Chains A and B, each alone.
Chain A
């Protein structure tokens, strides 16, 4: 069963703690993306990676970090430097040469 998985679905953390969100895909896609969605808002790009061991900042990268050590994995760390981390985080992937992005189910992060 192919697809994109994100875990956990809901995540609660105390203010000041770093937290890492998981994103795994078995679609053999080269490109992966992280978006943030706030209530009633569109999606904003945090980081993206076109290939293993390479990634670029998106529009709102401050306070976030990523790694791309394996093709199938693109974890996102929300650091304590992110001022308003509570949001819905969506991971997506795209096949090389294709335009469509496929989204995972998302992780709702709440910082208390």
Chain B
């Protein structure tokens, strides 16, 4: 079946350093979504990418969708302690089901 792989599993950074998480799908995706889950909380939708090669920015966060629509990345510039949490990518299949990656847990040292 369709799989979405996400790396790294963990990333521990000093506040102010950059952070990137990568997502790869075994098949072409109709779109990809990114969610953030704070410790003890539930996933919260961040953004959706639909077009091949699409790049979107939200303040310090930059999201990219690969040309082949099989991979994506999330880059955070100058991390802050408020960025702590687990970031999930999720690819949507033809049945509107989301296939979630395993997530990247970000820890930020103040």
Contact = CB atoms under 8 A, between A and B. Distances in A.
Contacts of B9: 40
Interface size range on A against B: 20 to 34
A43 interface: yes
Interface residues of B, number: 22
A35 B101 CA distance: 13
Nearest to A97: B96
B97 interface: yes
A10 to B, nearest CB: 11
Contacts of B44: 103
A101 B100 CA distance: 12
A42 B13 CA distance: 22
Given A99-B31, A99-B33, A50 B105 contact: no
Contacts of B1: 59
B33 A48 contact: no
B88 A43 contact: yes
15 contacts: A35-B100, A40-B105, A43-B43, A43-B88, A45-B98, A48-B97, A50-B96, A90-B43, A99-B31, A99-B33, A99-B48, A99-B96, A101-B33, A103-B44, A106-B42
Interface of B: 1, 6, 9, 31, 33, 41-45, 48, 88, 90, 92, 96-98, 100-103, 105
Interface of A: 31, 33, 35, 40-45, 48, 50, 58-59, 90, 94, 99-106
